[in-house]
Amino acid sequence: MKLEKITIRDFKRFANLEISNIPSTAKLVLLTGPNGSGKTSLFEAFNYWMKISARQDWNYDPDYYLRPIDSLALTPERAKRTRNLAQETWDKITPNFHGLNEEIKHDQEACRKAFYIRSAYRHSPDFTIDGLQKLDDILNDSSRASKLVLSESRVQDNYQRLVGMSLESLYDNEQRDRTAGQITDELIGEVKKAMLKVFDGLVLEGPGNPLEGGTFRFTKGDSSNFHYKNLSGGEKAAFDLLLDFIVKRKKFDDTIFCVDEPELHMHTKLQATLLEAMFDLIPDNCQLWLSTHSIGMARKAAELNSANPGQVAFIDFHEQNFDQPVRLEPIKPGRQFWQQMFHTALDDLAELVVPEYVVFCEGRKVNQTGKKPSFDAAVYQKIFSPWHPQIEFIPLGGTNEVQLDGKAFDYLLTKLAPGIKTWKVLDQDDRNSVEIDQLKDEETYVLSRRDIESFLWDDEVLLKLCEIHNSPEAFSEIQLEKQSQIQSLPGRGKPADDIKAISDSLYNKCKRVLNLHGCGNTAEAFSIEKLAPLIQPGMAVYEELAEAVLAPLRIQDK
């Protein structure tokens, strides 16, 4: 089950919200935004839809579910008809799922596993059991929080289910040759492996004796077989989520899993490793939705997106006025997104954050007079910041300025921010291979083509432009124009590969053939906003450009 679109009207924060165009390839959907921005309200809409669709629970709290403006306008007579209010609210929440052409809200059995939701108030500080009890159908999700403002505790329930599965396997005739220890090791093996991935050295030993002092037991360093209650808050929080996910996904196997603020009680590095572990565990036909304002979570999601193009979607709730109709779609995190994330997480300290890497490039210097800011830096930022937000591109002027001033800036930055790494990127222009190799020794990397325009107006990019505007047949006409313009270059006294010289003609051709409006007044503006975002990992043109622009990172990864 994967969500394609949802519309929500007159519910909590939302007057009229639509989130759409979530790709079917998305395994992870990350909701970002500050506290109070509406992320939990979205999950509560999922929860309310499940409340009625899957469980026929018509209890209704108008002060909680209705938008405050609607709640204040509620007459005493209408407030008494809670069944009608519950129905009205239910009808105003409409999820659409990939692969399903009809609504499933009246198919109770199908809805039981549509969503599985964890609130932000997950609390299981201690538990010990002295006997087993019969548990209800796992799809009833009886340990859930009926509202996401309420606390929930699921570790004990999952302990009982894990032990129950061990006993069931022990008395299975087809597994009579296996010992109880072997069966238990198999069942806790996934949880043990996931915990070791998040906490190096913390080993889940097993469930102990479920009939007397039963609890999860752990080993760390010289401390062996210690009680669950002795885990730290962060360890308990991560263990709770991983255990619950692994136990429940066996039955919730066509499901959208939602976790509100999974980063609670965890430091930044731990948040990232937890997200990676959960991402690896999600089945291909399921989706994982997380709400967060954590930099660690967002950075790891960007890394996962870079390694798995199309499998991560970002939906940003920053600076949205939900008292008005709002239409949201997945975004590609750019510079502004990361600035907002740092401000949300660090407030005034965000201004003190420096990038990990600085790339000096050609183009008009920051604050230099003139009508155009740096074209090269803007293009590089558009192309690479969604996948490498830790890199800042700084223009230093022409080739000589980049080489000379770059050394001075490099020295200054490494003194002000020890650990920061810098390098320089130049257009190829007419440089020969000897010059290029000499520059490489000075940590200056040269593009494999004359200039950045040669990449922006590449055939692969132009074809993608036509496809996203539903006009793939227009590509051949644009390509013919490009070939004609290239053939005219020598007669105009231009190098035969000077794509920059023909970019205005190509820009006008694209506008005319694709019937584009509001796409930028110049070829440069068009290139920055319309062409650069199309160059993404997995494309040959991206890989060729990255070989120079990201050269030190590529060398580092080898």
Q: At what angle do helices 459-468 and 540-549 cross, to 10 degrees?
A: 130
The H or E element containing residue 84 is helix 82-91
Q: Indicate if 483 and 408 belong to the same structural domain.
A: yes
Pair 234, 163 in one domain = yes
**What CATH code is carried by the domain that includes residue 92?**
3.40.50
Least confident among 3-17, 65-79, 194-208, 498-512: 65-79
What local confidence, expressed as pLDDT, does residue 272 receive?
87
Range of the structural domain that residue 147 is part of: 126-250
Report the pLDDT value the prediction gives residue 369, as an integer from 0 to 100: 47
- Which whole number is the average pLDDT over 84-107? 92
Residue 258 dihedral angles phi and psi, to the nearest 5°: -125, 135
Interatomic CA distance for residues 502 and 489, integer angstroms: 8
Closest among 251, 263, 239 to 159, alpha carbons compared? 239
- DSSP lists the bridge partners of residue 292 as 32
| pLDDT given for residue 390 in this prediction | 86
Residue 76 pLDDT > 80, yes or no? no
Q: Is 119 part of any domain?
A: no
Distance CA 333, CA 116 (A): 27
* Selection from 32, 3, 27 nearest residue 315 by Cα: 32
Tokens 């539903």 sit on residue: 470
Contact 323, 38 (CB under 8 A): no
DSSP annotation of 364 reads P
- What are the CA-CA distances from residue 132 to residues 107, 165, 202, 243 (Å)? 33, 12, 27, 19
Element (H, E) at 549: helix 540-549
- Determine the Cα–Cα distance for residues 468 and 481; give it in Å rounded to an integer: 20
Residue 358: strand pairing partners: 392, 422
Q: State the pTM of this model.
A: 0.69
Given 217, 250, 283, the domain boundary residue is: 250
> Taking all residues of the chain, what is their mean pLDDT, rounded to a whole number?
87
Structure tokens belonging to residue 516 = 């584009």
Amino acid 411: pLDDT: 59
Q: Alpha carbon of 244 to those of 56, 188, 270, 551: distances in Å?
A: 24, 12, 18, 42
Query: Does residue 120 lie in a domain region?
Result: no
| ∠ CA 532-536-538, rounded to 5° | 150
The Cα–Cα gap between 31 and 312 comes to 11
pLDDT at 437 over 70: yes
Task: Return phi, psi of residue 155, to 5°.
Answer: -65, -45
* Residues 265, 308 share a domain: yes
Whole-angstrom distance, CA of residue 511 vs CA of residue 478: 10
Same domain, 469 and 486: yes
In contact, 27 and 287? CB cutoff 8 Å: yes
Q: What per-residue confidence (pLDDT) applies to 73?
A: 55
CA 469 to chain centre: 25
> Does any domain span residue 231?
yes
- Asked if the structure places residue 523 within a domain, the reply is yes
In this structure, the answer to whether residues 486 and 376 fall within a common structural domain is yes
Residues 439 and 546 placed together within one structural domain of the fold:
yes
One-letter amino acid identity for 379? V
Q: Which of 231, 250, 269 is the last residue of a domain?
A: 250
Contacts 24+ apart (CB under 8 A), 169-172: none
Residue 535 lies in a domain: yes
| Cα–Cα distance measured from residue 459 to residue 439, given in angstroms and rounded to the nearest whole number | 29
Same domain as 552, residue 532: yes
* Neighbour-count burial for 524-551, b at 16+ CB within 10 Å, e otherwise: bebbbebbbebbbbebebbebbbebbbb
Neighbours of 54 (CB within 10 A): 22
Across 64-68, 397-401, 422-426, 547-551, least confident range? 397-401
Same domain, 70 and 205: no
Rg over alpha carbons for the chain, rounded to the nearest Å, is 28
AA identity, residue 527: S
Q: How far is CA 131 from the centre of its chain?
A: 42
**Quick one: 229 and 147 in the same domain?**
yes
Q: Which residue has the tokens 């660690």?
A: 296
Residue 153: predicted pLDDT = 87
User: Is the model's pLDDT at 522 over the cut of 80?
Assistant: yes
Kindly state the tokens that stand for 242.
């991983």
Q: Is the pLDDT of residue 7 over 80?
A: yes
Statement to judge: residues 135 and 184 lie in one domain: yes
One domain, residues 181 and 271: no
In a domain, 121, yes or no: no
Asked if residue 406 has pLDDT above 90, the reply is: no
**Cα–Cα distance between 535 and 464 in angstroms, integer?**
9
* 333 — pLDDT class (breaks 50, 70, 90): confident
pLDDT of residue 260: 94
Is there a single domain that holds both residue 229 and residue 301? no
Cα–Cα distance for residue pair 432/244, rounded to 1 Å: 60
Does a structural domain hold residue 7? yes
Least confident of 88-102, 282-296, 344-358, 381-395: 344-358
pLDDT band at 381 (very low <50, low <70, confident <90, very high): very high
Lowest mean pLDDT among 67-81, 93-107, 537-551: 67-81
Amino acid at 437: D
Nearest-10 Cα torsion for 203, 206, 209, 213: 40
The CA dihedral of 42, 46, 49, 55, to the nearest 10 degrees, is -140
Structural domain count of the chain: 3
Residue 371 confidence (pLDDT): 40
| Alpha-carbon distances of 159 from 239, 242, 388, 529, rounded to whole Å | 12, 13, 40, 52
Domain boundary among 312, 327, 346: 346
Residues 523, 487: Cα–Cα separation, whole Å: 20
Q: Does position 409 have pLDDT exceeding 80, yes or no? A: no
Establish if 175 belongs to a structural domain.
yes
What are residue 364's phi and psi, to 5 degrees? -60, 130
Q: What is the pLDDT of residues 464-489, one digit of tens each?
A: 999 999 999 999 999 999 999 999 99
pLDDT at 352 over 80: no
